[in-house]
Structure 1
Amino acid sequence: MTDDELVDALKALAHPVRLRIMRALTGAERNVGEIDEASGIGQPILSQQLAVLRNAGLVKTRKDAKLVYYRIDDSMLAKVASAAGQLGGLSATSVRQSRHPAPGVANFARLG
């Protein structure tokens, strides 16, 4: 994944309407009417935002007669999550352990 592709995908996900669309598509393939019903977004905004998600590679489409079905591109979303995790030093196989402050002790922000 190139930096430009990652930036486009992160921008696409960082919009409240597009995030609602992605949530509506979680675990399901839906046509535009079903996405509208599940998300309450409405036309033509829904079509515009689906185009942004499609251009960013976050959703795939399948046409069946006159209906277009959308689904999340799991492999692309996994690449985005992996790239974002690497920014914080995380990987798919490791999870950063969080610090727990000691009771009764002053805790200061750690810069570094």
Structure 2
Amino acid sequence: MKTESSGNLGMSAEALEKVASMFRVLGEWVRLSLLQELMSGEKTVGELVEASGQGQASVSKHLKLMYDAGLLSRRKEGVKVFYRLKDDMVFSLCQLVCGKLATDQKTREEIDFSI
């Protein structure tokens, strides 16, 4: 796709904004921790609150943002709401980033970036 401002190949400003929006969704550690919890499968909001140590309102806000971004799917069963990953793409991206951070950190060994 050509950019509007130049004849070079690349994404349009609109496409770049959509990519940036997805990175903003993924750019919060609480959301990443919730995604990490969902790696093992579907969980209720209550289970995610307990696992994350965050408040229910905070967890619900983050889950809604990720749901609206298309990262999660959800279903209701009675009064419980279950969330699960809609697409494993997020883990491929996280593995790329964590691999880069691990390589950069290799000599320091301060933080474990393995998933």
- The bucket for the TM-score relative to the shorter chain is 0.5 to 0.7
Residue identity over aligned pairs, in percent, reads: 33
**Structural mapping, 1:23-102, within 5 Å:** 23-74=36-87, 77=90, 81=93
In the TM superposition, residue 4 of structure 1 has moved relative to its aligned partner by: 4.0
Partner deviation per Cα, 1:15-56 (whole Å, 9 max, x = no partner): 011111111111210000001111111121111111111111
Q: Whose RCO is larger (CA < 8 A, sep 6+)?
A: 1
Structure (1 or 2) with the greater helix fraction: 2
Q: Say if 2:25 and 2:69, in contact at 8 Å, map to a contact too.
A: yes
Note the aligned Cα RMSD (angstroms): 2.3
Aligned length: 81
Higher Cα Rg: structure 1 or 2? 1
**Does residue 9 in structure 1 map to residue 28 in structure 2?**
no
Structure 2 gap segments, 5+ residues each: 1-14, 97-102, 104-115
